[in-house]
Amino acid sequence: MQLFAFDDSYLKRLRDGDPSTESHFVVYFSQLLQLKLRARFLAPDAVDDLRQETFTRVLRSIRADSGIREATRLGAYVNSVCNNVLLEHYRAGNKNVPLESKHFEMPDKVISVEKQAITEETRATVRKVLDQLPERDRAILRAIFLEEQPKDDVCRSFGVTRDYLRVLIHRAKDKFRSLLGP
Amino acid sequence: MDHNEALQSQACEKYLLGELSPAQRDAFEEHYFSCSECAIQLRSAADFLGASREILAASPVQLPKPNHAPAPHRWFSWLLRPAVAVPAFALLFLLIGYQNFVTIPGYKHAAAPRVLPMHSLITANTLGDDQLTFTVLPDQPFGLYVDVPYEPAYSTYLLTLLSPSGAATPLRSLNAAEAQKTQIIAINPGRQAGKYTIVVSGLASSTADSSSAKELARLQFTVEVRH
């Protein structure tokens, strides 16, 4: 992803509807919003709806006369708008939508060519990182993130601690980042 | 949550493992939306885990190799025999009872917060006013409000306590800013009643030798111990 600084110029371009800035803004915050919303165990449909609603409100506010003017607060603003959208969603009584396991495997509805290429590159790099991991660590990742076994059971079964899980993820992530490059 | 806190607490990894409390989760989210470095870390970890899930799902299922501990040698199995276990447990219960009813209440009493009785030396006459008399219980510490005579020529102030027996105990060293504020000094006279003196001396610099300190004031008070 092309890196932009969240400064006054960025905010102005966003206000003026500059397509590349707008696209960067949506790509940058999409994944963060998705992680945030998924951490609440919401169904993917709800995640998409709430993400869209957040973007709509943030962009509307940026373009309004009384909207956000402090570029450094942009991230915090997106987060707080998402919090409001989330609260409204809960109030609307949708909080008990059960999350089915198949939801996790649902592919994105729109996959761009660019995204496909990044995904392939990412996949190749991740494969490389996984190949370099000890077999036990791969089995731990499989148990937790694929088979979704309770973490305490996994720790007991493999004779590791919770700290080990964090360190495992931390190291794998760093290795992944270093292989992927800047 | 700031960046260092996020790094030190491994917030990113805990977030992805679902190990943060709701409050910590909200705090981390507030942070990573504003911190590009944490956002990149989180993105990388999420990308890695997402792709790993795909790859591991596609790869042949390998039998996990849990680290099953080998069957322990039963060298101490004799401990479980009733002849040994019953008296051992009885002893253990006695020990627990003693701790619960004697040791722990004792610690609680000792650790209970107490209010330090406070007296003031602010009106103490530097020429030796012996009118200030404080009555305390034996071994009970008390606090003193002390105003140090500030002089711009001195940057460091030494406070020394002289007991009735003449023993000198260094109390505190103050810088110029501290010397301009009222200080609270804890004194524990133990059971020694009599006339105490706080000697205030000034040093021109913090690195100067304490023997070169000039005496600026003597704050005197009398302690009576009520038995």
pLDDT digits (tens, 9 = 90+) for B186-226: 888 888 899 999 999 999 887 888 788 899 888 888 998 88
Cα–Cα dist A84/A54, whole Å: 9
Residue B68 lies in a domain: no
Residue A32 lies in a domain: yes
Q: B146 and B47, same structural domain?
A: no
DSSP letter, residue B155: S
Q: B123 and B53, same structural domain?
A: no
Chain A nearest-CA residue for B46: A35
Q: A31 and A12, same structural domain?
A: yes
Q: B211 and B125, same structural domain?
A: yes
Q: A174 and A97, same structural domain?
A: no
B185 within 8 A of B146, measured Cβ to Cβ: yes
Chain B nearest-CA residue for A177: B44
Residues of A in contact with B45 (CB under 8 A): 169, 173
Q: What pLDDT score does B123 carry? A: 67
CA angle, residues A152, A157, A163, in degrees to nearest 5: 50
Residue A20 lies in a domain: yes
Residue B101 lies in a domain: no
Q: A69 and A143, same structural domain?
A: no
Question: Tell me, what CATH number does A144's domain have?
Answer: 1.10.10.10
How many domains in chain A? 2
Domain boundaries, position B179? 118-225
Alpha-helical regions (H) of chain B: 3-8, 11-17, 22-32, 36-58, 82-98, 104-111, 176-179
Q: Which of B42, B51, B54 sits opposite A35 (nearest CB)?
A: B42
Q: What pLDDT score does B145 carry? A: 84
Mean pLDDT throughout A125-132?
86
Choose among A141, A104, A181: nearest CA to B40: A181
Chain A nearest-CA residue for B14: A166
Q: Which of B44, B47, B56 sits opposite A141 (nearest CB)?
A: B56
Q: A82 and A140, same structural domain?
A: no
Burial A148-157 (b: 16+ CB within 10 A, else e): eeebeebbeb
Cβ–Cβ of A142/B64 closer than 8 Å? yes
Report CA A123 to chain centroid distance, whole Å. Answer: 17
Q: How far away is chain A from the Cα of B74, in angstroms, using its nearest Cα? A: 21
Q: What is the pLDDT of residues B45-79, one digit of tens each?
A: 888 888 888 888 777 665 555 555 555 556 666 66
Residue B151 lies in a domain: yes
State whether ipTM is beyond 0.90.
no
Residues of B in contact with A169 (CB under 8 A): 13, 16-17, 45, 49
B159 within 8 A of B146, measured Cβ to Cβ: yes
Q: B217 and B122, same structural domain?
A: yes
Residue A60 lies in a domain: yes
Instruction: Specify the amino acid at residue B225.
Output: V
* Mean pLDDT, rounded, of chain A: 79
